[in-house]
Amino acid sequence: MTDRYAVFGNPIGHSQSPRIHSLFAAQTGQDMSYQAILAEKEGFVAAVSAFIAAGKGPARGANVTVPFKAEAFRLATRRTPRAEAAGAVNTLSFDNGAISGDNTDGAGLVRDLKHNLGCDPAGRRILLLGAGGAARGVILPLLLENPAELVIANRTEETAARLALEFARLPGCAVGAKPDGTGFGGLAGRQFDLVINATSAGLSGAVLPLPTSVFAPRCVAYEMVYGRATPFMQQAGAAGARVADGLGMLVEQAAEAFFIWRGVRPHTAQVLAALNERA
C-alpha cells in the first residue's frame, strides 16, 4: 500500500510542496502520495487526525506551514533539538501513535547556501534580519556552521536582543560565535559577508532601513521570500551583493524532510531547475 504524506497550511493553494515531493518520489522510486490540505485556522489538530485516520495507505508524515508550525510543535510527542531551538515544527513523522517533530528550515537554508550557492557560512560575518519565527528557525543551524559572527537585527530592537541572549545561553551554541542582537540603527558602519532577510517586510513591499555599508565586497544577500523581487533584493543588488531568493531553501527543506521520512536523499538540482523554469 502506498505511504501517504501531506502538507497542512492556511492558505495552502499555492504550495509547491506536492510538486517538489512528487518529483523527489519519482526520482528516487519511492511509492508514496503527497497532498496539500487546507486546515481551518482552529482545526489543525483535527485535520491531522482525520488525515491519519482516513485513506487507503498508512499516513507516514506531514509538512506543516503557516500558521501551524507552533501548533505542530505542541502536537509532537517528541522533538529534535533543532525543533526545540526553533520553537516550531515543519516536519511530522507518524509511527504507531507516536508523532515526531522536526524542523528542517534551517538545514534547508544552510544546504542551499553551501551546496547551491557556494557560500559556506563558516568564518563569515552573518547579519540576520528579523526576529520572528522565520529568523528563530535558522539561528541554531547557522551557529553550528561556525560563522565569524552572527548579528540579529530587528525593527523592534528588544526582540532581537532577547533572541540573541536566548541562543547565546543555549548549550548547543557553545561552539562558534555567540549571537548579538541590535536594532537597525546599530548597523551603521558595520559590514557583513552574508546578509539574510528573515523579516516579512518583502511580503508587504516594505523597504528596510539598511545602511548600504552592511553589504561587504562579495557579500551574498539571501531573501527567504521567493517568487518576487523584494525591496531587500533590489537594495542588495544595487549595493553590489550577489542576490538569492528563498526557492532553494524551500526545495532543500523539503529534501531534508524527504530524507527523514524515506531515508533517501533526493538530488535537488534538477527539481530546483524545474521550479525555476516555471517561475
Based on the shown chain and the rule CB under 6 A, indicate whether residue 134 belongs to the binding site for ligand ATR. Answer: yes
* Of residues 201 and 272, the one with the C-beta less far from ligand ATR: 201
Binding residues with ligand ATR: total (CB under 6 A):
15
Based on the shown chain and the rule CB under 6 A, indicate whether residue 197 belongs to the binding site for ligand ATR. Answer: no
> Which part of the chain contacts ligand ATR (CB under 6 A), choosing from 30-38, 43-51, 108-116, 127-135?
127-135
Q: Locate 65 and state its grid cell.
A: 506551514
Q: Which residues contact 133 (CB under 8 A, 6 or more apart)?
A: 69, 70, 87, 88
Minimal CA–CA distance to 86: which of 142, 32, 129?
Answer: 142
Least distance from ligand ATR to the Cβ atom of residue 247, Å: 16
Choice among 41, 56, 69, 178 that is catalytic = 69
Q: Which residues contact 256 (CB under 8 A, 6 or more apart)?
A: 91, 104, 107, 108, 111
Strand partners, 61: 5, 93
Q: Locate 125 and state its grid cell.
A: 560575518
Residue 250 burial by Cβ neighbours in a 10 Å radius (0-12, 13-18, 19+): buried
Chosen residue from 131, 144, 219, 241 binding ligand ATR by CB under 6 A: 131
Based on the shown chain and the rule CB under 6 A, indicate whether residue 202 belongs to the binding site for ligand ATR. Answer: no
Chosen residue from 159, 170, 186, 190 binding ligand ATR by CB under 6 A: 159
* Of residues 147 and 202, the one with the C-beta less far from ligand ATR: 202
* Contact footprint for ligand ATR (CB under 6 A): 130-135, 154-156, 159, 199-201, 206, 208
